[in-house]
Structure 1
Amino acid sequence: MLRGMYGAAAGMIAQQQRQEMLTNNLANVQTAGFKADQATIRSFPNMMLKAMNTGEGPVKQNPTIGSIATGVYMQEQVPNFKQGDLNQTGNPTDLALLQGVLPEGEDGAQGSLFFTVTGDDGAVRYTRNGQFTVDGAGMLTTAAGHRVLDTDGNEIEVGSTFFNVNENGVISSSEGEILGQVGVVYVANPLELRREGSGLLAYDGEEAEAGFPQAVGLDGVTYQIQQGFVERSNVDATETMAEMMNAYRAFEANQRVLQAYDQSLQKAVNEIGRLG
């Protein structure tokens, strides 16, 4: 009976964590470049049950009865890096990264493209949020003040909001002077990136010092940068609300099972107490 209580409790915890993840997705439905998280729920290892000391004769047998599940848990939250829709803003500092053809890995999964910016510690960070602005020093930055980097890893000075960006990310002033090229890197396995605040992603793996390859001119990679557009969040609000309802119902089902076990234990304790 206690095994059943632990299984039901584990199911409630897993669904609660899933609900929190879905709530965060829904809260970021209007966040530019946000990538929705998906839950990976797995079961604990099954337990093998045996009948102890059964059978006749001096040697007791322990025949196998079968296996029993021991509950589930949410193993991880996996971001979905699917391309989001583009939204036209008309703001010259807004840049949308539109992925084209990308190579596939051995497992058939595609990589992803990201803008490069500076983090709070000065190291390189990655983002899909192209809702940029120009700070007081005339540098192209994110809304949170992180400097946007060019293909050489240098900060981009645009001076003012009067500049043009072509499809390859080359920035030119209103007089036609080339100011730099927006850095876009290709990440073969974006699941290795970890989330930080302000829509930034960080990487601590083996390629952290060398950095990811620039997408411009890279074989098998095509993309476009659209000025005056931003990439919307890829959260599907309708689908997310339906998943939240399913998670809530699964939580309630496990809760009712737990209540049934609790009532059974209470009844057993009370009746045993009266017999004593």
Structure 2
Amino acid sequence: MIRGLYTSETGMLSQERLMNMLSNNLNNVDTPGYKQDQGELRTFPEMLISRIGGDAPSPSTVGDLSTGVYMDETVPDFSQGTITQTGKSTDIALSTSQLPVNPRTGAQEGALLFNVRTPAGAIRYTRDGHFTLSPAGQLTDDNGDAVLNTAGQPIQLPSDQFQVAGNGTILVNGTPAGQIGVSYAANTNQLVQQGGGLFMLNGAGNLPAAAGQANVSYQLKQGFMEGSNVSADQTMTDMMEAYRTFEANQKVMQIEDQTLDKAASQVGQVSGN
């Protein structure tokens, strides 16, 4: 019975973590370039139960016993969000055309991201192309981080009257003024969310440029913006399921508690008759 309490408790804690993750996704349903978090519930290692003693000459196998569940680490889903037209020259959507395909799963792998530099000088990555022009004439993201060109330098522009070609080349009055840098992350598990739509690389160095990578192609669309890849309907459904599972574990825990109370107060009680 004590084991049942522990198993129910782990189920409740896992559903609470899942609910927090889903709530955060739903809060960012309208955030440009936001990539929803995903998580999976896993069971702790099972124990093999054996019967000891009794009439059997040797221990006999009873079966497996689960020791509860936990929510594995959350990872971002880098699937493409919906791209909508805004008409604003500083809005630039990164549209993924092709990525390498995993031969085992048949799914595309990796992610393409813009490069930005924080005021502290750190390199970060983002899918949020809702850029703006700072008073100093630098192209920046919503956090005020400088958008970098292919040489790793901030992009300086005289005004918002510029054009962006599909490969990221910036034209001012028909003259090239640099190229927007795009990086390729072959293993998205190396990217760690930092908040504000930013990701950092877990480890030394920086991500390689996407241009020239085999089976990688993309297009930058000026005057467009990539939205969040969160489905509000699906997220609400998942939240309801998590809530009901939490309630079910809570009821199991209450029943276990009532059973333990009876075992402690009534079992073995000497009758007064």
Normalising to structure 1: TM-score of the pair? 0.93
In structure 2, stretches of 5+ residues that fail to align are: none
In structure 1, stretches of 5+ residues that fail to align are: none
Q: Give the drift of 1:271.
A: 1.2
Residue 80 of structure 2: which of 80, 83, 93 is its match? Answer: 83
Structure 2 SS opposite 1:212: coil
* Match of residue 30 from structure 2: 30
Spell out the pairing of 1:239-258 with structure 2 (5 A cutoff). 239-258=234-253
Kept in 2, the 8 Å contact 1:83–1:98? The answer is: yes
Q: Give the drift of 1:194.
A: 0.3
Spell out the pairing of 1:68-107 with structure 2 (5 A cutoff). 68-105=65-102, 107=104
* Cα distance in 2 for residues equivalent to 1:29 and 1:61: 60
* Cα distance in 2 for residues equivalent to 1:275 and 1:5: 28
Amino acid paired to 1:20? N
> Structure 1 residue 201 and structure 2 residue 199: aligned?
yes
* Cα distance in 1 for residues equivalent to 2:269 and 2:178: 85
> Structure 1 residue 66 and structure 2 residue 63: aligned?
yes
Kept in 2, the 8 Å contact 1:46–1:67? The answer is: yes
Q: Give the drift of 1:163.
A: 1.1
Spell out the pairing of 1:223-238 with structure 2 (5 A cutoff). 223-238=218-233
* Cα distance in 2 for residues equivalent to 1:96 and 1:89: 10
* Match of residue 126 from structure 2: 127
Amino acid paired to 1:235? V
Give me the identity figure in percent.
45
* Match of residue 189 from structure 2: 191
Structure 2 SS opposite 1:84: coil
* Cα distance in 1 for residues equivalent to 2:98 and 2:210: 11
* Match of residue 55 from structure 1: 55
* Match of residue 8 from structure 1: 8
* Match of residue 266 from structure 1: 261
Kept in 2, the 8 Å contact 1:117–1:125? The answer is: yes
Q: Give the drift of 1:202.
A: 0.3
* Cα distance in 2 for residues equivalent to 1:120 and 1:274: 72
Q: Give the drift of 1:105.
A: 4.1
Q: Give the aligned CA root-mean-square deviation in angstroms.
A: 1.6
> Structure 1 residue 164 and structure 2 residue 163: aligned?
yes
Q: Give the drift of 1:243.
A: 0.4
* Match of residue 110 from structure 2: 111
Kept in 2, the 8 Å contact 1:104–1:111? The answer is: no
Amino acid paired to 2:28? N
* Cα distance in 2 for residues equivalent to 1:123 and 1:27: 27
* Cα distance in 1 for residues equivalent to 2:63 and 2:122: 54
Q: Give the drift of 1:106.
A: 5.5
Normalising to structure 2: TM-score of the pair? 0.94
Kept in 1, the 8 Å contact 2:201–2:207? The answer is: no
